[in-house]
Amino acid sequence: MMKFYKKLAILLAVMFATVYGCAAMYRAGAYDCEREAEGGYIGEVCYMALRDSTLFRLYDISTGQKIAERFFFNAFENRIVWGDDIVYYSNGDDGEYVRLPPTWLDRLRAKLP
């Protein structure tokens, strides 16, 4: 029975790595990026190969290091709206945003490819 669970765990890990790798390659194809700086941050909105998907990246202005990244589907024209402790990166009804400063989880995920 342990062999079954071990094989299942390996299969799930391979499937996860494949899906994540494909998504990373897709994000690398971002184009038509627009940047906007505010306070200690730089926000960047990029379109993806499929026109209805968008990539938002948040950078630390002093180091240039990426500190948050979000991928979302949105058919609207996107723009960055800065608040006191939040940055919105979507004009759609969903109200996509990143809290400022980004959480430790945002920073950790931004380090991944």
Residues 13-63 pLDDT 10s? 899 888 877 777 777 777 788 899 998 999 998 888 766 778 889 999 999
Domain boundaries, the chain: 30-111
Q: Is 28 helix (H, G, I), strand (E, B) or coil?
A: helix
The number of residues in the chain equals 113
pTM: 0.76
Residue with tokens 């939040």: 86
- pLDDT reported for residue 53: 79
Beta strands in 30-105 (DSSP E): 31-38, 41-47, 53-60, 66-73, 81-82, 86-88, 97-99
Specify the CATH class of 30-111 in words.
Answer: mainly beta
- Give me the amino acid identity at 67: I
CA angle 35, 40, 41 (to 5 degrees): 30
Alpha helices, DSSP H only, in 1-113? 2-28, 104-111
Lowest mean pLDDT among 40-44, 68-72, 80-84, 94-98: 94-98
